[in-house]
Amino acid sequence: YDLLEVAKVYMENNFNISVGAKMIYMHRNTFMNKLERFIQLTGLNVKEFKHAIVAYILIKNLELKSNM
């Protein structure tokens, strides 16, 4: 899965790593590693609320643009 998808699923499942990993049929550790990689690359720590809001809006905006 794409790092953006992992971050989005994490946020949409109330910041729960176990539930997020199950939603996309991924091992919990793999999910955590991908989430950490997203944080490293973007500088947005989605584990913090204010960063999560920004990240979620950006991800949804990218999805809207790709559907046009």
Residue pLDDT, tens place only, 15-63:
999 999 999 999 999 999 999 999 999 999 999 999 999 999 999 999 9
**Structure tokens that stand for 52 in this block:** 């999560």
pLDDT for position 19: 97
Give the pLDDT confidence score for residue 35 in this predicted structure.
98
Rounded CA separation 30/11 (Å):
16
Distance CA(46)–CA(36), nearest Å, equals 9
| 18 touches 27 (CB < 8 A) | no
